[in-house]
């Protein structure tokens, strides 16, 4: 399946891209997408964001929303879905 | 005494006299400094029915024990008094180099009462203070006043007036600029290098280095350094946290108003408070020939003058922001008042004003014009300058339509996006305040293990009252210590810093108790001024579920969270007062005696 990932804010800067189509194996969950994002783009991001041993983002780094709210790590994804990803941080 | 000078400067503007107030170490341990110490100092002067603009109404400037030290992100001060905008406890904080200079002048703070016969300013230098004629400064804007005062070494103001320092840094909320103006006090000029003693210099030095490393490596610091607080705009929209169209929408083209958009449109540089390694402040350079430099805009400002008014014209937002700075006006309250006026205009309920003409959503030029009209108290501007609640009352509208709590306008973090914000807004010591506490950060992943505060579901309401109360206490403590809310230092680090500077032996539990003591003391002041549980509520306009965006259909369970909050705080559900037992437990026996004799 293929999901569309939208990067917001600094994550877009660091990834060097605002949107990308990401192929994933059928049955993938949100946590699998995060791992794939890390594998593709973490090398452009600050070292403190990505745990290369665990192949996972270091919390609190990313979150994603779809209509209705944030995605939990184990949320199953579906083909054609658009997911917005950003730093899990607020200010102002 | 370590970490403090041990004295406040007492200024009676009516008599034109200056004196000193000695501070007891036991009081400093209990109230720490900043806004909390200010509350303790004025508690006895607060009377039911008090007019905030009466000469006897006190105005306090206060630093904290960390101010002036080498610890980063502590050059801040608090301004406090009875808010002319709300009639309740008012406080605002700001950073820059002024707080270092204020403490360097030889005092921990200033307690000002009375009203000068003619405009004056207060000059303090190395423990020596005098009142000087400010006739030539009166009526001049913030920037010109500061320039003129530096070379040497407005009476009636809208209720949403603030106090400015270091060019465009604002102690913005609660209308304390109106209180200062009512005293005919135009400015405070402070200088000097007076240092306080430090209990353990070597440890403070090591802790300062450790703090620098933590701050510089923190991801939020990186984001703030890159785009300032505007880094959050597009994320806020995605989360439904940035209100639009006067709290009735949450979806808008955020990319037009993001930190990236500001940088693409203008030359933007960072501004740092003294001793801060982040530099979250923005300065727009070469904005226009007549406005070569603008301080800001911040996220809150862009939110209030932007999507809340359906305005996506960055130029008008930057200009309106500059005018608010120059006139000294709270950008949040200004934006909410203007958005409310647009809402009323859409319903045909806004009185006509020939100078303004027709007011429609998204009209950036009208927003700029209205900011001038508010500042100069012209036409409809006079009404808008009193804030949303006063507008609703004056126009005979349903108060539930006014986006405020206790008279203070709602900030740009929508309680429907993070339900813990609803109870924080409802109970905050100064009304709708996004800083006490900023619970959105908790549900975005910030845990405080020492106080057992853990992230939860942002739309959840169960057990959130207790957690919100503790987080509010922590953030109230920040304003006692006068440390920046963007500091990522943990409670354990803060305890070490406080102990190394003061020589005390505090624990994390002591700090939590100090935060809760602070909340209860301010609450008691508000109770004396007439506040009850009925005031701990959000207006319907800010609670009603939206039909769009990521918060569609979500409404915070206010009652559940409020009951949980009251239970944890030990507040009386009928009266809204802190319970006698809780006051005694927190060492506030004199407050218990005062509240329960009535």
CATH of the domain at B116: 3.60.9.10
Please give the share of chain B, as a percent, with pLDDT higher than 70.
Answer: 99
Tokens 């190395």 locate to B126
Q: Please name the member of B226, B230, B235 whose beta carbon is closest to the beta carbon of A8.
A: B235
Closest CA to B450 of B496, B500, B504: B496
Tell me whether B280 touches chain A (CB under 8 Å): yes
Catalogue the long-range contacts made by A43-49 (C-beta closer than 8 Å, 24 or more residues apart): A44/A14, A44/A15, A44/A16, A45/A11, A45/A14, A45/A15, A46/A14, A46/B219, A46/B222, A48/B217, A48/B219, A49/A14, A49/B219
CB atoms inside a 10 Å sphere around CB B424 = 32
Tell me, yes or no, whether A82 lies in a domain: yes
Task: Give the pLDDT of residue A54.
Answer: 85
B431 shares a domain with B397: no
In a shared domain, residues B424 and B405? no
> What is the number of alpha carbons within 13 Å of residue A36 lying toward its C-beta?
17
| Cα–Cα distance, B39 to B297 (Å, whole number) | 31
Cross-chain Cβ contact B238/A88 below 8 Å: no
How far is CA B345 from its chain centroid?
29
CA distance B115 to chain A (A): 35
User: Does any domain span residue B297?
Assistant: yes
B434 and B403 share a domain? no
CATH code assigned at A76: 3.10.20.30
Is the per-residue pLDDT at A66 higher than 70? Answer: no
Q: Kindly report the nearest CA distance between residue A80 and chain B, in angstroms.
A: 19
Which among A49, A63, A84 has CB closest to B219?
A49
**Residues B358-383: what's their mean pLDDT?**
97
The mean per-residue pLDDT over the stretch B394-423 comes to 97
**Position A50 confidence tier, pLDDT thresholds 50, 70, 90:** confident
CATH number at residue B252: 1.10.569.10
Q: Is there a single domain that holds both residue B402 and residue B436?
A: no
B139 has a chain A CB within 8 A of its CB: no
Q: How many CB atoms lie within 10 A of CB A58?
A: 13
Is the CB of A9 less than 8 angstroms away from the CB of B280? no
In this predicted structure, which of B202-206, B233-237, B405-409 has the lowest mean pLDDT? B233-237
Per-residue pLDDT tens over the stretch B58-108? 999 999 999 999 999 999 999 999 999 999 999 999 999 999 999 999 999
Looking at residue A58, what is its pLDDT?
Answer: 80
**B439 to chain A: nearest residue by CA?**
A90
Contact B444, B236 (CB under 8 A): no
User: Would B393 be classed as within a structural domain?
Assistant: yes
Q: What pLDDT does residue B155 have?
A: 45
Q: Are residues B175 and B289 in the same domain?
A: no
- Domain-embedded: residue A54: yes
In total, how many domains does chain A have?
Answer: 1
Is the CA virtual torsion B389, B544, B564, B550 positive or negative? negative
CB of B487 within 8 A of CB of B73? yes
Contact B231 A88 (CB under 8 A): no
Task: Locate the chain B residue with the closest alpha carbon to A84.
Answer: B238
Decide which of B191, B214, B248 is a domain's last residue. B191
Respond yes or no on whether the N-terminal peptide bond of residue A60 is cis (omega within 30° of 0). yes
**Closest CA–CA distance from residue A22 to any residue of chain B (Å):** 20
Query: Is B236 in Cβ contact with A86 (below 8 Å)?
Result: no
Report whether pLDDT(B418) > 90.
Answer: yes
Q: Is the pLDDT of residue A4 over 50?
A: yes
Say whether pLDDT at B241 is over 50: yes
What confidence score (pLDDT) does residue A45 get? 87
Closest chain B C-alpha to A87 CA, distance in angstroms: 8
The answer to whether residue A78 is domain-embedded is yes
For the residues of B398-456, what is the DSSP string, one character each? -GGGS-EETTEEP-SS-TTTSTHHHHHHHH-BTBS-SSTT-HHHHHTT--BGGGTB---
Of B260, B440, B549, the CB nearest to A90: B440
The whole-number pLDDT of residue B154 equals 42
Would an 8 Å CB–CB cutoff place A75 in contact with chain B? Answer: no
Banded model confidence at residue B402, pLDDT cuts 50, 70, 90: very high
Query: Does A30 map to a domain?
Result: yes
- Judgement on whether residues B488 and B557 belong to the same structural domain of the protein: yes
Q: Do A90 and B259 touch (CB under 8 A)?
A: no
Asked if residues B290 and B273 have their Cβ atoms less than 8 Å apart, the reply is: no
Are residues B368 and B436 both part of a single domain?
no
Residue A64 has pLDDT above 80, yes or no: no
Q: Any chain A CB within 8 A of the CB of B186?
A: no
pLDDT tens digits for range B431-451: 999 999 899 999 888 899 999
Mean pLDDT calculated for residue range A4-11:
89
Q: Let me know if residue A46 belongs to a domain.
A: yes
Last residue of a domain, one of B409, B435, B462: B409
Interface of A with B in 21-40 (CB under 8 A): none
Domain that holds residue A71: 2-87
Q: Which residues contact B415 (CB under 8 A, 6 or more apart)?
A: B421, B422, B425, B538, B542, B543, B556
Q: How distant is the Cα of B559 from the closest Cα of chain A, in angstroms?
A: 23
What does the pLDDT look like over B518-564, one tens digit per residue? 999 999 999 999 999 999 999 999 999 999 998 999 999 999 999 99
| The pLDDT of residue B7 | 98
Residues of A in contact with B446 (CB under 8 A): 60
Across the interface, of A48, A67, A91, the residue whose CB is closest to B231 is: A91
Is the C-alpha dihedral spanning B116, B117, B120, B122 positive or negative?
Answer: negative
Domain check: are B391 and B433 in the same one? Answer: no
The mean pLDDT value for B468-479 works out to 98
Per residue in A34-43, pLDDT (tens digit) is: 999 999 998 8
| B165 inside domain | yes
Cβ distance B235 to A68 less than 8 Å, yes or no, reads: no
Is pLDDT above 80 for B151? no
Question: Residue B392: inside a domain, yes or no?
Answer: yes
Residue A61: predicted pLDDT: 62
Q: Is residue B1 one of the residues assigned to a domain?
A: no
Collect all residues of chain A within an 8 Å Cβ-Cβ radius of residue B280: 91
Question: To the nearest whole number, what is the mean pLDDT of chain B?
Answer: 95
Q: What is the ipTM score, two decimals?
A: 0.89
Contact flag A67-B552 (C-beta cutoff 8 Å)? yes
Enclosing domain of residue B375: 238-409
Given CB atoms, is B439 within the 8 Å cutoff of chain A? no
Interface check for B413 against chain A (CB to CB < 8 A): the answer is yes
CB contact under 8 A, A13 and B444: no
* Strand intervals (E) in B265-421: 267-271, 281-285, 293-295, 404-405, 408-409
CA distance A56 to A72: 15
**Residue A67 pLDDT more than 90?**
no
Q: How far is A8 from chain B (nearest CA, A)?
A: 7
From the list A10, A48, A59, which residue is nearest B231 (CB)? Answer: A10
- Whether residue B550 and residue A88 make contact (CB cut-off 8 A), yes or no, is no
Residue B388 pLDDT greater than 90, yes or no: yes
pLDDT at B444: 86
For residue A92, is it within any domain? Answer: no
Lowest-confidence pick of A59-68, B380-389, B409-418, B512-521: A59-68
Q: Check CB contact under 8 Å for B223 and A60.
A: no
Residue in chain B lying closest to A68 (CA):
B550
- Chain B nearest C-alpha distance from A51 (Å): 14
Is the confidence at residue B281, as pLDDT, over 60? yes
Closest CA–CA distance from residue B17 to any residue of chain A (Å): 40
pLDDT grade, residue A46 (50/70/90)? confident
Residue B170 shares a structural domain with residue B277: no
Q: Which of A46, A59, A84 lies nearest to residue B222, judging by beta carbons?
A: A46
Asked whether the CA dihedral B83, B86, B91, B96 is positive or negative, the reply is negative
The residue out of B374, B409, B444 marking a domain boundary is B409
- Chain A to chain B Cβ contacts (< 8 Å): 93
pLDDT band per the 50, 70, 90 thresholds, residue B361: very high
Number of domains in chain B: 3
For residue A34, tell me if it sits in a domain. Answer: yes
Phi and psi at residue B120, in whole multiples of 5°?
A: -135, 165
Q: Strand, coil or helix: what is B39?
A: helix
A17 contact B CB<8A: no
Chain A residues with CB under 8 Å of B549 CB are 67
At residue B598, the pLDDT reads: 56
Minimum Cα–Cα distance from A58: chain B residue: B219
């Amino acid at each position: 399946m293929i999901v569309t990932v939208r990067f917001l804010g600094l994550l877009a800067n660091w990834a060097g891209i605002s949107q990308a189509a990401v192929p994933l194996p059928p049955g993938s969950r949100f946590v699998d997408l995060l791992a794939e994002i890390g594998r593709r783009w973490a090398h452009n991001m600050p070292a403190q964001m990505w745990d290369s041993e665990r192949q996972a983002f270091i919390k609190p780094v990313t979150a994603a929303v779809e209509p209705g709210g944030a995605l939990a790590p184990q949320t199953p994804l579906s083909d054609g879905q658009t997911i917005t990803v950003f730093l899990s941080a607020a200010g102002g | 005494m370590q970490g403090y000078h041990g004295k406040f400067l007492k200024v009676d503007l009516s008599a034109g006299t200056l004196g000193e107030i000695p501070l007891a170490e036991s009081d400093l341990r209990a109230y720490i400094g900043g806004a909390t110490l200010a509350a303790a100092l004025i508690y006895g002067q607060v009377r039911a029915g008090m007019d905030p603009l009466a000469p006897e109404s006190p105005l306090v400037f206060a630093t904290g024990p960390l101010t002036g030290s080498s610890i980063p992100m502590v050059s801040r001060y608090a301004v406090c008094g009875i808010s002319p905008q709300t009639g309740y406890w008012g406080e605002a904080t700001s950073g820059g180099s002024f707080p270092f200079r204020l403490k360097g002048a030889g005092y921990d703070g200033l307690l000002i009462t009375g009203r000068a016969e003619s405009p004056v300013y207060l000059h303090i230098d190395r423990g020596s203070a005098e009142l000087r004629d400010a006739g030539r400064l009166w009526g001049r804007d913030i920037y010109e006043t500061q320039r003129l005062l530096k070379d040497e070494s407005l009476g009636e103001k809208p209720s949403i007036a603030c106090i400015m320092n270091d060019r465009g840094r604002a102690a913005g909320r609660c209308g304390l600029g109106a209180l200062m103006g009512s005293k005919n006090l135009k400015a405070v000029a402070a200088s000097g290098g007076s240092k306080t003693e430090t209990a353990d210099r070597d440890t403070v030095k090591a802790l300062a280095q450790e703090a620098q490393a933590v701050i510089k490596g923190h991801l939020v610091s990186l984001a703030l350094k890159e785009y300032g607080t505007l880094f959050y705009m597009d994320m806020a929209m995605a989360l439904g946290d940035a209100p639009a169209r006067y709290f009735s929408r949450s979806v808008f083209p955020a990319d037009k108003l993001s930190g990236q958009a500001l940088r693409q449109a203008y030359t933007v540089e960072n501004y740092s408070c003294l001793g801060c390694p982040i530099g979250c402040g923005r300065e727009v350079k070469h904005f226009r020939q007549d406005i070569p430099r603008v301080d800001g805009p911040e996220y809150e400002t862009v939110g209030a003058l932007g999507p809340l008014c359906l305005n996506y014209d960055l130029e008008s937002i930057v200009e309106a922001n500059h005018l608010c700075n120059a006139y000294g006006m709270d950008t949040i309250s200004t934006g909410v008042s203007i958005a409310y006026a647009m809402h009323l205009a859409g319903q045909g309920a806004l009185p006509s004003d020939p100078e303004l003409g027709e007011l429609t959503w998204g009209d950036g030029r009208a927003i700029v014009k209205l900011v001038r009209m508010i500042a100069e108290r012209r036409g409809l501007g006079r009404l808008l300058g009193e804030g949303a609640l006063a507008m609703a009352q004056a126009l005979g509208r349903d108060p539930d339509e006014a986006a405020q709590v206790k008279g203070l306008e709602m900030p740009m973090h929508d309680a429907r996006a993070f339900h813990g914000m609803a109870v924080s807004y409802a109970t905050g010591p100064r009304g709708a305040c996004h800083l006490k506490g900023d619970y959105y950060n908790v549900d975005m992943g910030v845990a405080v293990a020492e106080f057992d505060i853990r992230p939860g579901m942002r739309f959840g309401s169960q057990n959130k009252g207790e957690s919100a109360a503790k987080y509010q206490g922590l953030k109230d403590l920040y304003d006692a210590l006068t440390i920046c809310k963007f500091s990522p230092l943990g409670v354990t680090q803060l305890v070490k810093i406080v102990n190394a500077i003061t020589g005390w032996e505090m624990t994390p539990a002591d700090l939590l108790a100090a935060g809760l003591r602070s909340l209860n003391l301010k609450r008691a002041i508000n109770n004396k001024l007439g506040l009850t549980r009925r005031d701990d509520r959000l207006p319907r306009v800010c609670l009603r579920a939206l039909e769009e965006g990521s918060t569609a259909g979500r409404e915070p369970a206010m009652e559940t969270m409020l009951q949980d909050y009251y239970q944890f705080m030990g507040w009386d559900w009928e009266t809204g007062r802190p319970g006698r037992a809780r006051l005694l437990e927190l060492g506030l026996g004199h407050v218990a005696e005062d509240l329960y004799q009535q």
